[in-house]
Structure 1
Amino acid sequence: MAPESASAMAGRSRQYFQETEEDRITRSYADFSDFEADMPKLANRFQFSLKDNITSYLGRNNPFYQYVNPKTDYVWLLDNTAFQNRIGRWNAEFVAAYFVKNSGKDLSEVVAWVSEKIGLADDEEAKATIAKRLQPLLDSILPAHAVQIELQGMNVRLGPGGRDGISSDELAIPGTEYKDGEVITSKPINADATPFKITFAKPKGWAVLSDIDDTIKKTLTSSPIGILTTTFAEEPEPIKGMPELYKHIQQKLDNPPFWYLSASPYNLYPFLREFRETYYPSGTMILRDSSWMNLAGFLANLTQGTEAYKVDRLEKVERWFPKRKFIVIGDSTQSDPEAYGEAYRRHPKWIGAIYIRKVTGVAEMDESKKNDPERFEKAFKGVPRDIWYVFEDPQELYAKVDALPPID
């Protein structure tokens, strides 16, 4: 997909953060606004050069970009899924996020604040974990920079990045003889960046798009304290029974491609990728392209505009794989039912099943509204009843997955 103009990105950003009724229920019930107002006031993270500042508006067309310096900068290269265009050529979206190493000057202050809020102020080991996970939210982003990668024997440039320090390039992949489900690894050239995986997926067959937070990973998105604790202090915990379910889906549906969708910012990519690699099938991770440099913005990412954001990302995947049949999996804490219902109404032949995990037992969650049967009926208006299902125990889904028809 071609990079957006600055005005288009600004418009999309405003749309993403329009508060829906579900957002309002979540945020008001747990007093998110009051909690965010008490957060540390951080220094400006956008402390890049005047040249980078001005030219970053040009995006990939910026002729004044620089390559990253491996001594001072670091880059995250995101795993992706390759698709075939109309003439059979393989393409993929290559996403890179650029940062300045160890540039977050408020780290100790924020670590102390988080540690106190979650009750770990005297735990030095916990503070070290919190500092490691917070660092990417505090480091300065790096616009107007690019990175080279080795791609099947060729040197390819990614970027330069735009205003948010992120580049997105839809590029052709050399070669044609790739098998469905084949995975290759690409490496950076002269850059402090990790290798990344490219998974090849043919145009037809089953596919899975899954929410992350409180669907496959305990995040407690209904609670600001819960979000901080599960994200920065605790070892990430899978939802009971979900790793086994996803393995069953992978085996039963002949290794379908997986996408993992979260309203978290790209700053959390290494943390979430490691979690996914530990418990779930490999796949492309879709995160918000807003590199928030403070905790209040991080909480807003997870709790505002999630419906519009997720519908937008579903539309993007549909453009790449319009002939695939998707299983979409989410939960009741955020706007997954509304987003998936809207996606089905737009593309009824594209979505073959919708599974929503009913989340219970979270103190800061208004379960009477979030799990109200009328909410689900409204969210899935116009969606056939045999397409969507609300579950509490993942075991409920095994028979449903087994009953899905084969796709030629």
Structure 2
Amino acid sequence: MIGRLFRKSAILATPSFLLSALLTAPSAHALPIASRQIFAGVPLTNSVLLFDSPAFPDPANPGSLIAEFQAYVSLRSVDASSLVGVLGDALETLGLDIGDDIGRAAERLALFASIGLPAQSVDVKVGGCGGDEFVEVEDTDLRDLGMMVRNVSIGSCEGLSAEGGGRLQASVETSSLDDRVFEATVFASPADGFGVISDVDDTIKISNVLDKLELVRKTLLDEPTAVTGMPELYGSLQETLQDPSFFYVSGSPYQLYPFLRGFVQDNYPTGPLFLKNLTILDLPSFISSNQADTLNYKVSQIDRINGMYPAKQFLLIGDSTEQDPEVYGEVFRKYGADFVACTWIRQVEGAENSEERFAAAFEGVPPEKVRVFTDAEIGSLASIDIAGGLC
């Protein structure tokens, strides 16, 4: 199945520590006016980041699936070296030396230096689904800078379970002159059963969100480290909840998608990552994050998941460093226990962990539906019978 994908996204936040680098780096001075694609495949001047996608049963067509594709189109071969240089100078003034990690920093910063192209479309093919037809969707809105999101019917698909669950390979069509490959995984899931919605930073990956300089170091320079015991816990959930759908909802920008996707693949059950669409037109930083913005963003992404899987029950897992308790409390009040089976919050040392905070965050939520746990308790969580109604 091939689908013509279009872009539809909100412009969100840009890290302030990167803003000056973006504005002073030669490659990011101006955004060109994009021309329409006039031949099959991606123009050789463009690059595409295709995100892993969820797929869910089509309510109007039993046996068929709808996939929510997301892709980012940008100019090809942007050189991030100037951005790294500017950022390195800025960080050195704060006492953080890039040093020998400049290559790693350049790799993680590459998408920050990219130039997104508005008014683009790409053809996405999903192997084993719906033959070789494609659905063409056009969009001429120039305000979004390269990001596109679209629900597309991919028909019936071979190789899936009787309930419609499994994985499919998606790829962006390129021209006969192009040997590049842009691929992603489509995670198909049945309409009911269990799922897990998880935060990333300081929930499953040590990020030190409360120490902004350490957050920069761990985001741009260090090898990522999993929270001790969490990979084993998520592995056990995969078994006890009978292969639930995993969704990773983070306030981190989509420019970190390759880095975070690799981390999840190396340590946790895989699933789509929902990250903020961040452009140079918006200034607030995820490093000095706006709490209200984070709350609204995460609730909106869980709304998005509920729209795909209203009959699923989800375990929500987060931490106490930012707004996860408030987000998950709001989600429970909105959708109730039919959607939220349990909420687990990792209690991070140094965060606001008062009883008053949690009581306010989970006002109206039955206490037995919420568990705030310490690192010493992670190992014991695997024995909780979530499917049996316990939290």
Which of 76, 83, 104 is equivalent to 1:106? 83
Q: Distance in 2 between matches of 1:312 and 1:341?
A: 14
> Structure 1 residues 46 and 350, CA, compared in 2 at 3 Å: closer, same or farther?
farther
5+ residue gaps, structure 1, are 18-31, 53-63
Name the counterpart of 1:237: 225
Which of 275, 286, 290 is equivalent to 2:274? 286
Deviation at 1:162?
A: 5.5
Between stretches 97-106 and 326-335, larger displacement belongs to 97-106
Counterpart check, 1:344 vs 2:332: yes
Counterpart check, 1:219 vs 2:194: no
Counterpart check, 1:150 vs 2:105: no
Q: What SS is found at the alignment partner of 1:171?
A: strand
> Structure 1 residues 193 and 187, CA, compared in 2 at 3 Å: closer, same or farther?
same
Q: Distance in 1 between matches of 2:386 and 2:125?
A: 42
Q: Distance in 2 between matches of 1:188 and 1:319?
A: 26
Name the counterpart of 2:112: 137
- AA partner of residue 189 (structure 1): E
> Structure 1 residues 403 and 75, CA, compared in 2 at 3 Å: closer, same or farther?
closer
> Structure 1 residues 155 and 234, CA, compared in 2 at 3 Å: closer, same or farther?
farther
Counterpart check, 1:82 vs 2:55: yes
Q: Distance in 1 between matches of 2:232 and 2:19?
A: 40
Which of 165, 168, 172 is equivalent to 2:149? 168
- AA partner of residue 148 (structure 2): S
Deviation at 1:40?
A: 4.6
Q: What SS is found at the alignment partner of 2:255?
A: helix
How many equivalent pairs are there? Answer: 362
Name the counterpart of 1:270: 258
Q: Distance in 2 between matches of 1:225 and 1:168?
A: 33
Deviation at 1:172?
A: 0.5
Alpha-carbon displacement from aligned partner over 1:165-189 (angstroms, at most 9, x marks no partner): 1011100113256324311111222
Contact kept, 8 Å, 2:191 with 2:311, in 1: the verdict is: yes
Alpha-carbon displacement from aligned partner over 1:237-288 (angstroms, at most 9, x marks no partner): 1111000000000011110010001111111110010001000001011001
Q: Distance in 2 between matches of 1:36 and 1:322?
A: 39
Q: Distance in 2 between matches of 1:238 and 1:43?
A: 34
- AA partner of residue 236 (structure 2): H
Give the structure with the higher percent helix. 1
Counterpart check, 1:329 vs 2:323: no
Deviation at 1:207?
A: 0.5
Alpha-carbon displacement from aligned partner over 1:118-146 (angstroms, at most 9, x marks no partner): 5335x2x3112112211211221122222
Q: Distance in 1 between matches of 2:181 and 2:6?
A: 22
TM-score (norm 2): 0.83
Alpha-carbon displacement from aligned partner over 1:87-118 (angstroms, at most 9, x marks no partner): 32210110001222215553322234335645
Contact kept, 8 Å, 1:332 with 1:356, in 2: the verdict is: yes
Q: Distance in 2 between matches of 1:391 and 1:239?
A: 13
Name the counterpart of 1:26: none
Q: Distance in 1 between matches of 2:280 and 2:315?
A: 30
Name the counterpart of 1:23: none
Contact kept, 8 Å, 1:159 with 1:168, in 2: the verdict is: no
Counterpart check, 1:48 vs 2:38: no
> Structure 1 residues 131 and 103, CA, compared in 2 at 3 Å: closer, same or farther?
closer
Contact kept, 8 Å, 2:67 with 2:152, in 1: the verdict is: yes
> Structure 1 residues 170 and 403, CA, compared in 2 at 3 Å: closer, same or farther?
closer
Counterpart check, 1:91 vs 2:66: yes
Name the counterpart of 1:312: 300
Q: What SS is found at the alignment partner of 1:267?
A: helix
Name the counterpart of 1:73: 46
Between stretches 152-161 and 248-257, larger displacement belongs to 152-161
Q: What SS is found at the alignment partner of 2:123?
A: strand
Contact kept, 8 Å, 1:358 with 1:391, in 2: the verdict is: yes
Q: Distance in 1 between matches of 2:283 and 2:266?
A: 26
> Structure 1 residues 338 and 357, CA, compared in 2 at 3 Å: closer, same or farther?
same
Deviation at 1:305?
A: 1.2
Q: What SS is found at the alignment partner of 2:110?
A: helix
TM-score (norm 1): 0.80
Between stretches 64-73 and 80-89, larger displacement belongs to 64-73
Q: What SS is found at the alignment partner of 2:331?
A: helix
Q: What SS is found at the alignment partner of 1:225?
A: helix
Q: Distance in 2 between matches of 1:46 and 1:303?
A: 30
Q: CA RMSD in A?
A: 3.1
Q: What SS is found at the alignment partner of 1:318?
A: helix
Alpha-carbon displacement from aligned partner over 1:68-87 (angstroms, at most 9, x marks no partner): 75543221111112101223
Contact kept, 8 Å, 2:342 with 2:386, in 1: the verdict is: no
Q: Distance in 1 between matches of 2:33 and 2:69?
A: 27
> Structure 1 residues 266 and 291, CA, compared in 2 at 3 Å: closer, same or farther?
farther
Counterpart check, 1:392 vs 2:374: yes
Identity score, percent: 27
Counterpart check, 1:189 vs 2:173: yes
Contact kept, 8 Å, 2:194 with 2:241, in 1: the verdict is: yes
